[in-house]
Amino acid sequence: MIATIDNFKVDLSKPIDISIPLTNTDENPIAWYIDKPVIEPVVFGDWIGKVSEGKSSTNFNNIFFNPHGHGTHTECLGHITREFYSINQSLKQFFFLAELISVVPEIQGEDLVITKNQIENSLEGKTPEAIIIRTLPNFKIKKSLKYSNTNPPYLDKDAALFIRESGIKHLLIDLPSVDKEKDDGKLLAHKAFWNVTDVNNLNADARLDCTITELIFVADEVKDGCYLLNLQIASFENDASPSKPILYDLRFLNAE
């Protein structure tokens, strides 16, 4: 199926999935000091909700997981505010022009940091609706890493501020957080991106309709450049939802 968007033709039959699936195995990535997800059949007495057990006509599982710590997720500013805000209410559009960039985080003391200069140089003056940041090296083990207590790379506050000031509304990254793992609760990059100055009393110009998506994985064969992004979430009334960001190639489908 071919769709036309602005000056591009998009082949919707060729999606590029940049999400990490949620499983109850050791292959699942984990962050923030929690255990792996639990996916197990409902049990009522001697009845088990699993067809292979021979006691049910359906598979009927309970799933226990944390969207922030167990895989690809999209969050709204309700993640850091005292007042409740829901990703399901904040994200109302789902297709965006996005720019994929790759960066090698810079060594700063004991940290690896993505800087403003790296973001600015990679964008080369472009102002897409969404930015997708792939960190290098891009090992496939990212899809099953156990991030707790490893001090992963993170986004410098000035880089997040530059992204906000560029008018970019959706930030996607292949790390468990845009902020340093242990930062004493400062959350400088989150606050800079969402323009939140006081988490207890939200300022009028805070970016209620902007999102951060973390723990994505972009394979090496997906080249840097412009894509159509379909940002899919589940309808959770929560600050975050597991999500499935999908890219569609625009580079070779320009309309005549």
What is the rounded distance in angstroms from the CA atom of residue 6 to the CA atom of residue 97?
A: 10
pLDDT for 162-221, tens place per residue?
999 999 999 999 999 999 999 999 999 999 999 999 999 999 999 999 999 999 999 999
φ, ψ dihedrals at 92, nearest 5°: -115, -15
Is pLDDT of 74 > 60? yes
Tell the CATH superfamily of the 2-29+67-249 domain.
Answer: Putative cyclase (3.50.30.50)
For 1, 110, 170, the CA distances from 213, given in Å and listed in that order, are 27, 25, 8
Among 164, 170, 171, 167, CA closest to 134: 171
pLDDT for 101-120, tens place per residue?
999 999 999 999 999 999 99
Domains in the chain: boundaries? 2-29+67-249
